Structure 1
């Protein structure tokens, strides 16, 4: 009996709000999830809060995150030393706009006016922090219990000890309630009383508490939810009687939300109890926190990220909601208030939010529906993909006309009953007309049509039939029985005509190059395409609704203003502006932005004020009232950061003025409109008083920059608005002053005049003195230039005999030394040996790595040769990858031994510092002067020895 009383009371509470507001079923909410992949520091969302400035705050085990609708800004211990702990356990907004933050190690901080104020820490992990009406701070501590801290003290006074406290709350009478592992405590005058099972409280830990707007206490425990009624706690719903409840929320409708330990979220409303869990969109079934923001979106903190439910402009119907198919091609608004939805696996009727399937199959398989049509009597006709035309009779699909009995093709994309009650059938193989006597007329591309592929049919006010094909448009004149082509101008480059909308003055055509307007009075055609700002080329269907045209496309639904479109198309000015449009897609609630076309009707306006679109993932509907409601919500605007010459500068507290030093050249403001419903659609205006007192449109750009402002006082203001609405009076102001340079002051100018006079006199005296110094300077300059020329000549001489890359002697130097000394060695009968070294497979190094790597290899080998040549030995770079050596007083055998040492040293050298996987070997050819008479012969023999080494496999030394 008591339970029935509670349910009746709840229904009364709910019904009061329900009279003023409508609620969506959970299935109609638009779901979004954020986690570590999208900017959060951790996936366990311990607490959620929204501060008075509009920011959403998320507490996790790895820090604090602030959300502005577009991105998360992270606050961690590495950046904010006053952050209490890395693990943020509790967030509590204060009445004066601050935010209390409590952590896993007992730390407490107050964030207010962009400043962090560290509070004395608690002795254990803070599960919840709460400020009572008398400004006492109440703390729910893990394992330690409940404490309070007086506003005039920093000492924590124990109230309940040796338990885990989870949440504390104050009711309208000033009574403090505490949820603990022992159960529910009632605290009056700082004295606790444990509620007992005789009072209806489960003998189990209590995790969470809620005071409803009418002052009623609800608890969530390990053994279900309870609501206090007349001194006794009763279950609000039988299904919640034993369900472990971890979090509670009352939304703006008065509905109650219950977060559970392992079954997701429940909502209790006048519509009954609804459940949302991981099977239908939640990231996880463990709920840690719940919040409703000022835009009425519901935020759910789970152990797998934060989840948001919002009333998006669009909602969708698919197989999960009862449709036969997710791939919908056509949707028809019926005169009886129902909607007919045709997809790839059948036909459905939607009426009063209930789906019924239309019976009928072909050889056991469902029909694939392409087009729909309502006859004047209310009968529904159906065009299919492979079965021709069907008719719905007694809720069943009955074959009517197909290829076997006269239809040109079974693929039927458009149907039309004209004003003479003749049925026109547009198929993939031409146009068929079924006359009232049952006879058929066939029209094909061989005679009357530019293409046999028919996509759209429509009748104008003069009873003429407009035919959209895969290759243009024709109009059937019912007076003359003649098809007249409507040829698109060549510059349009349009070919396919997917849909028509005909009004008194124009025929509008959705084509593969934009929206074409045909004027009835003069047959003039204009096109709204990308050149005028349309975001896509290909349009499928045109739906007029009030003062807008709604256009379906593969990239979403486009809304344009009918009047503005006509003004753009009528303008003869080259500078006629661009189109203002709204593009709706998945972010607005559609399951897929791919609207389907090529069959009619693929979109329709319904009698209840909704517009429906066939998409690749169900049928999507938009209710314009939802769009209007969203734009009525107050939109906070905030300046997030202020940079001076690229360096961040602290923003002032409201009313303060920032003093900037003289000489600043660039000021940059980052701002945001704190909307979580349509953040990507917000428009901004800025104004800098003192520079330009007019508001400047920024569209959706969230940055304003100013350069080279003169000294003076300024006020920067920014405001935001939703699309197609008036600007809200929500602007934020930053006052700043750029100080003057000292040279801009009057005293400095007087000083400069006096200084000018002094300088003129001094310049005269200096000029006399300078003439005397010129002669000395010229003399000194001649001496210096002579010395510089000598040094330059020496440098040229050095460069002529040395290799620029390795700084070794070059071939000229080597040849000169050999020519100058060979005859002396022969005359003294001394042995003179030479060697020519070549880097093996050097071309592979250049080709396999690069010429730059090749140059580094040459330099590295040159360094090795320099380090190992001793005494009178000479080494030179002979050219390319070849080096030459001179060994005075050395025989060929001795020189061979020296070369072998060099070869092995290079072979064992690790070249990985130059390139990964690179190894280098060299080959030597050695000869001496024993039996040769000139140095040319000596060189030739060394070269032959090198050639022999290469022929014998390289990486070796040969002697000739």
Structure 2
């Protein structure tokens, strides 16, 4: 690995100092309390773990300079650019990066190579002779190049000549001033360079030749710089220290963030931040994988990126912060949380009870006299005590009280189960304890009463308890809501509301009671006792909600297994009142700093608001806390979207051209690779695409970052991709690519028009020629037609008969029967009697299988002959298909129809079939339906078929009337 030799010596020297000063960070506030720390290494796709420089281009990409090339990051993966034709780098080792306002990226490598990158295009610049430590490009195109040991060079725009500005020194860092001047951090101090003056301000102010490794100018024009002797501030010709805690750190990098805070990267002590005259730190002890900081950068989403020798770090300020075991809580799996007026936050976890006060957690175990090991206490519920302190319900050991920093077990008589999921103490001093086996009321006189389903509760599994302003007790169970008022129990029927059952939590207001259920948010209005639901049909993304808690800004916060939803209380009431159909919501999960989107329910309370308006939520990985005001400055769903590659068949297209790409005729396949450059939660980004000219609607792609189209017709197209976070579609996050597919020569409109005219002319010529031939043969044809007309009429009569006659049995066929029934229905009066009879030869398949199909055909002929005896105008008989026959009878009474059918059944059964096969016996099943001609024939046929099925099901060989 390449590195600066002078820096290496200094690092070794100051490692001893760093060890001596290692205890300093322990006395400083930790940045980990404010920032979410995330890391990437070569295991995640980085080409090398030393991150020498970091930058972000205007198109949204993040760039990392390493000793194995430049890595471009799109939030999902790293793309590597090493030396070669694509990147134009001379060497893969890259030390310096700079992004200019024109969207270009300037980089210098270990062998003096310089490259300038505009989107999709890399350009090699004339190289220099030594390792490039720093580069900078002015607005006029002039380039500053800081070298190792060879000084500072300036190269004017469009000139290859190098002008040596500072000879025989190492330049570590370059930055522009607001007035257009340059700050050069060198091995001989800090230089201020302008068009008419070069000044070493560190030497002129008594620092002699002390190396300066980084310098920047803040918004007030003050120059902040640092080196081996700490951090300094230079203003109006005077040099001063910034803070006592920054005096003895070895500063390697300085960053001024968008809030005006100073960040200092060190060679051996991690990161320091100077904000509001306070210093906080982040070291190996609390989040940084390596204390030697190589680079610092703030991206457009305000995240701080830190380059070290062992990987990449991101510090992300999020709306949510997490309290967990690593920050001192008893456990990570939090079931309940309660805020006290004193400012204390009581936290119940699967590992015990914790109290957070003034940012410091304390853990408590039960008194030793209770013979309860601390790790066995799993806290399920919390509630305020009227006399001070807190009631604590456990999963396996019943009830406890917490007061005066003491956690004591409370002996309760009549407790049906030791699992306590909800507790409430009313104004009369009565304690209500909800268990998995019922609800118990403990009175101040020592008596108790158990309430179960026998007493009117909807279920014995109690999950939530609360009191309304009238003093009524509301009970949430696994099968709905119960309400107790003066020992009387009544239930609310939630089944009409999407069949809601589980009631996980309550929020009581003067006019309403809000309930979180397994089907959404339910509102009960006291004035008219009506229930309303806000669920998926109103726009909420999920059904199951655990807790509802209001903030002080007019919002309701809803917890779930898939994060937190925030809705407007006014909108919620409008939806519940029916004056609004859809509800807007904000959705928060891991991308907003939560350790997990799984919030817990089934115990109470699982969310709380403290005296300052801070919100606290119980999750499966600690307590998530936030203040609503933090969202205004931290959460934004806007980010760039980039089409990275476009391929036509096997050819990658040039994306630098602003004009639409022109594709050759016959182009068969178009492939688009795209990405949303949102780094806060890139794994949650979703995509939708539209190919204008083909698609009329957006096509949802989910997390899929590519789209493919085949067999596109010639024409003009515009591919548009929209990237967004779930539930936050944003039209701003779009990118597009226009292209045109050239038609083949035969697909061109003028050619197609000419061909069409040629075809029309040819067709007209052919018609004229054909008509001429027809006129010539007209007389001959008339004669032939006259002679053959008679023969055709005879033949037509024969065909007509064949078309309506079943050739095997000689009966009418199905077509003839359809025509007959249509005529009967259309010409008869509506009340004319009509009977439909279905007849089926029993076990006909067995006859075919046993005696051959030839015997089966003979049976069909015999049966058909018997049926034909009864065919007449008002009794139309036809073969329906296979072994089935149908009869239509008009004007007969039902008993006459049945008598006929029984006669037919008997005739078929008594027929001698021995000439067909020895021992052959044939029976038929008959289904009858009687109606009149006003009924639908298809319906009658279905009824007759059902009647036939009844006969078959009862043993066949019989008659059944539907």
TM-score range, shorter chain: 0.5 to 0.7
Q: How does 1:330-369 map to 2 (within 5 A)?
A: 330-335=336-341, 338-344=344-350, 347-350=353-356, 353=359, 355=361, 361-363=367-369, 368-369=378-379
Counterpart in the other structure of 1:802: none
In the alignment, is the contact (CA less than 8 A) between 2:646 and 2:670 conserved in 1? yes
Counterpart in the other structure of 1:740: 743
Residue in structure 2 matching 1:412, options 414, 420, 427: 420
Deviates more, 1:596-605 or 1:177-186: 177-186
Q: How many residues align?
A: 735
Q: How does 1:573-584 map to 2 (within 5 A)?
A: 584=588
TM-score under structure 2 normalisation? Answer: 0.66
Measured against aligned partners, the alpha-carbon deviations of 1:84-110 in whole angstroms (never above 9, x if no partner) come to 432222110112111101112211111
Q: How does 1:227-306 map to 2 (within 5 A)?
A: 227-270=233-276, 272-306=278-312
In the alignment, is the contact (CA less than 8 A) between 2:457 and 2:490 conserved in 1? no
Counterpart in the other structure of 2:803: none
What is the rounded CA distance, in whole Å, between the counterparts of 2:660 and 2:765 in structure 1?
Answer: 45
What is the rounded CA distance, in whole Å, between the counterparts of 2:572 and 2:711 in structure 1?
Answer: 40
What is the rounded CA distance, in whole Å, between the counterparts of 2:472 and 2:184 in structure 1?
Answer: 76
Residue in structure 2 matching 1:674, options 674, 677, 684: 677
Residue in structure 2 matching 1:440, options 448, 454, 468: 448
In the alignment, is the contact (CA less than 8 A) between 1:202 and 1:223 conserved in 2? no
Q: How does 1:579-590 map to 2 (within 5 A)?
A: 584-590=588-594
* 1:465 paired to 2:473: yes
What is the rounded CA distance, in whole Å, between the counterparts of 1:739 and 1:701 in structure 2?
Answer: 29
Q: CA deviation at 1:217?
A: 2.1
Q: How does 1:872-883 map to 2 (within 5 A)?
A: none
Counterpart in the other structure of 1:108: 114
In the alignment, is the contact (CA less than 8 A) between 1:659 and 1:737 conserved in 2? yes
Q: CA deviation at 1:305?
A: 1.8
Measured against aligned partners, the alpha-carbon deviations of 1:801-838 in whole angstroms (never above 9, x if no partner) come to xxxxxxxxxxxxxxxxxxxxxxxxxxxxxxxxxxxxxx
Counterpart in the other structure of 2:102: 96
Counterpart in the other structure of 1:909: none
What is the rounded CA distance, in whole Å, between the counterparts of 2:398 and 2:505 in structure 1?
Answer: 20
Residue in structure 2 matching 1:127, options 106, 111, 133: 133
Residue in structure 1 matching 2:559, options 543, 552, 557: 552
Counterpart in the other structure of 2:463: 455
Q: Which runs of 5+ in 1 are unaligned?
A: 1-22, 765-960
Q: CA deviation at 1:237?
A: 1.9
Q: How does 1:184-199 map to 2 (within 5 A)?
A: 184-187=190-193, 199=205
Counterpart in the other structure of 2:157: 151
Residue in structure 2 matching 1:370, options 373, 380, 387: 380
What is the rounded CA distance, in whole Å, between the counterparts of 2:645 and 2:574 in structure 1?
Answer: 40
Alignment CA distance shift 1:595-1:200 (3 Å): farther
What is the rounded CA distance, in whole Å, between the counterparts of 2:93 and 2:233 in structure 1?
Answer: 32
* 1:475 paired to 2:482: yes
Alignment CA distance shift 1:605-1:683 (3 Å): farther
* 1:626 paired to 2:652: no
In the alignment, is the contact (CA less than 8 A) between 2:153 and 2:162 conserved in 1? yes
Alignment CA distance shift 1:24-1:287 (3 Å): closer
Counterpart in the other structure of 1:315: 321
In the alignment, is the contact (CA less than 8 A) between 2:591 and 2:680 conserved in 1? no
Residue in structure 1 matching 2:643, options 636, 639, 663: 639
Alignment CA distance shift 1:365-1:675 (3 Å): same
Q: How does 1:583-602 map to 2 (within 5 A)?
A: 584-602=588-606
Counterpart in the other structure of 2:391: 381
What is the rounded CA distance, in whole Å, between the counterparts of 1:606 and 1:541 in structure 2?
Answer: 16
What is the rounded CA distance, in whole Å, between the counterparts of 1:376 and 1:351 in structure 2?
Answer: 21
Residue in structure 1 matching 2:59, options 53, 61, 83: 53
In the alignment, is the contact (CA less than 8 A) between 1:175 and 1:186 conserved in 2? yes
Alignment CA distance shift 1:647-1:449 (3 Å): farther
Name the SS of the counterpart of 1:257 in structure 2. Answer: strand
Q: How does 1:159-170 map to 2 (within 5 A)?
A: 159-170=165-176
In the alignment, is the contact (CA less than 8 A) between 1:496 and 1:511 conserved in 2? yes
What is the rounded CA distance, in whole Å, between the counterparts of 1:284 and 1:515 in structure 2?
Answer: 48
Alignment CA distance shift 1:544-1:173 (3 Å): closer
Measured against aligned partners, the alpha-carbon deviations of 1:828-862 in whole angstroms (never above 9, x if no partner) come to xxxxxxxxxxxxxxxxxxxxxxxxxxxxxxxxxxx
What is the rounded CA distance, in whole Å, between the counterparts of 1:748 and 1:368 in structure 2?
Answer: 83
Q: Which runs of 5+ in 2 are unaligned?
A: 1-28, 768-962
Alignment CA distance shift 1:430-1:249 (3 Å): same
Q: CA deviation at 1:592?
A: 3.7
Residue in structure 2 matching 1:430, options 427, 431, 438: 438
Counterpart in the other structure of 1:955: none
In the alignment, is the contact (CA less than 8 A) between 1:200 and 1:234 conserved in 2? no
Counterpart in the other structure of 1:64: 70
In the alignment, is the contact (CA less than 8 A) between 1:200 and 1:232 conserved in 2? no
Alignment CA distance shift 1:102-1:439 (3 Å): same
What is the rounded CA distance, in whole Å, between the counterparts of 2:244 and 2:529 in structure 1?
Answer: 71
Cα RMSD of the aligned pairs, angstroms, is 4.5
Name the SS of the counterpart of 2:630 in structure 1. Answer: helix
Measured against aligned partners, the alpha-carbon deviations of 1:527-575 in whole angstroms (never above 9, x if no partner) come to 958x99987786543435577654434554455778999999999xxxx
In the alignment, is the contact (CA less than 8 A) between 1:660 and 1:739 conserved in 2? yes
In the alignment, is the contact (CA less than 8 A) between 1:716 and 1:733 conserved in 2? yes
Q: CA deviation at 1:267?
A: 0.2
* 1:663 paired to 2:671: no
Alignment CA distance shift 1:365-1:132 (3 Å): same
Q: CA deviation at 1:251?
A: 0.7
What is the rounded CA distance, in whole Å, between the counterparts of 2:686 and 2:513 in structure 1?
Answer: 33
Q: How does 1:534-545 map to 2 (within 5 A)?
A: 539-543=545-549
Measured against aligned partners, the alpha-carbon deviations of 1:708-754 in whole angstroms (never above 9, x if no partner) come to 55444444444555666684556444333333332243542465368
In the alignment, is the contact (CA less than 8 A) between 1:528 and 1:569 conserved in 2? no
What is the rounded CA distance, in whole Å, between the counterparts of 1:326 and 1:746 in structure 2?
Answer: 70
Alignment CA distance shift 1:558-1:652 (3 Å): same
Deviates more, 1:321-330 or 1:195-204: 195-204
* 1:402 paired to 2:411: yes
What is the rounded CA distance, in whole Å, between the counterparts of 1:57 and 1:26 in structure 2?
Answer: 25
What is the rounded CA distance, in whole Å, between the counterparts of 2:347 and 2:756 in structure 1?
Answer: 87
What is the rounded CA distance, in whole Å, between the counterparts of 2:200 and 2:193 in structure 1?
Answer: 9
What is the rounded CA distance, in whole Å, between the counterparts of 2:724 and 2:380 in structure 1?
Answer: 41
Deviates more, 1:747-756 or 1:291-300: 747-756
TM-score under structure 1 normalisation? Answer: 0.66
Q: CA deviation at 1:309?
A: 1.3
Q: CA deviation at 1:300?
A: 0.8
Q: CA deviation at 1:429?
A: 4.8
Counterpart in the other structure of 2:931: none
Name the SS of the counterpart of 1:279 in structure 2. Answer: helix
What is the rounded CA distance, in whole Å, between the counterparts of 1:707 and 1:580 in structure 2?
Answer: 38
What is the rounded CA distance, in whole Å, between the counterparts of 1:362 and 1:370 in structure 2?
Answer: 21
Measured against aligned partners, the alpha-carbon deviations of 1:135-178 in whole angstroms (never above 9, x if no partner) come to 43221112322222222421223333443321223434555443
What is the rounded CA distance, in whole Å, between the counterparts of 2:585 and 2:708 in structure 1?
Answer: 27
What is the rounded CA distance, in whole Å, between the counterparts of 2:690 and 2:541 in structure 1?
Answer: 29
What is the rounded CA distance, in whole Å, between the counterparts of 2:180 and 2:535 in structure 1?
Answer: 65
Alignment CA distance shift 1:496-1:274 (3 Å): same
In the alignment, is the contact (CA less than 8 A) between 1:652 and 1:734 conserved in 2? no
In the alignment, is the contact (CA less than 8 A) between 1:662 and 1:739 conserved in 2? yes
Counterpart in the other structure of 1:35: 41
Name the SS of the counterpart of 2:602 in structure 1. Answer: coil
Alignment CA distance shift 1:64-1:726 (3 Å): same
